[in-house]
Chains A and B, each alone.
Chain A
Amino acid sequence: MAWFRKEKQKLVAQKRELAADVWEKCDGCGEILYTRRLEENRRVCPECGHHFQISAPEYVDLLFDDGLTEEFDPGLRSSDPLEFVDSKPYPLRIAQAEEKVGTYDAVLTGVGRIEGREVCAGIMDFGFIGGSMGSVVGEKIARMVEQGVERSSPVLIVSASGGARMQEGIFSLMQLAKTSAALQRLASAGLPYISILTHPTTGGVTASYAMLGDVNLAEPGALIGFAGPRVIKETIRQDLPDGFQRSEFLREHGMVDRIVPRGEMRDTVALLLHHMT
């Protein structure tokens, strides 16, 4: 009766690894996409229009005629004012993020041309500690806006951020005040500021420069809010409505001027600047 006791062979689904450099799965529709095709489409899913996150240098290429002609403050680095240690020391976290993303912290700032017009810009990178704003992000944004005042150029900021950086404590919070003060100065000089909100933009960045544009533009489907959805859900103990805190919800409630797909962003910005400068 040996056959009776024969061990059943377990059925194990073979997890097929997608070669990340060739194929990617869309978070929007689940479609498996050919990476090269995705890149050609500026990392927007050709099937459902889902906007994948892109890095700061990729966004620069998307918007500017010829990249940034000058990068501002590339040597600015976070120090560790609180000597903050959670699961790892903060300086180690910074070093690892720099290795992964680049040395510009969570924002790349500089000046370039869009349709021939000089624009000072800050482009955030969610890949760097969740695009969190610490002293370096605040300082670079403020200096870049001051450059805008000095050169009489319009200012543009592309946001992607989970909010203020906890590891710098109160110093991070003060960057909300600093960046808003810089934009106040820009506004009194009569210069335009366009804010572009991408997925996700929440917390302290939304509660400062991301919401202060003369014009606020949002990529489709981006999560934009003050509090994160999980915090809201825990506070009110209710399910959140469909589409809550997405770009379309913000447009409906009057918080963003337009929803602009990535492929149309450059033309839209150029047209707005034409009207405002």
Chain B
Amino acid sequence: MAKGVKPRVKVPKKADAGEAITIKTLISHKMESGQRKDSDGNRIPRSIINRFTCAFNGTSIIDVTLEPAISTNPYFQFEAVVPEAGEFHFTWYDDDGSVYETKKAVKVA
């Protein structure tokens, strides 16, 4: 399932050096759990995003392992420190091998 996947990330544009900011991420994905059955009673195979990472200038902030119990369109909110100006790098890893990436730059005021 690699169609219609669109990552959305909310990061403040500016921050003070050393300030803790809240990051919200959402990616549109069906997150097929592998438990559901189609109308013929066949099990729909599992297809989820199994890993999500966020890094700032190469420093890891969070690395999440996802199981099928994560809802459709996985949403995460977490806090990060901004030591200097730079770029947040978000990566999602799909079961089918696809990797979805997005970047957000932050300026230091």
Partners in one complex: no
Enumerate chain A interface residues (CB-CB to B < 8 A).
none
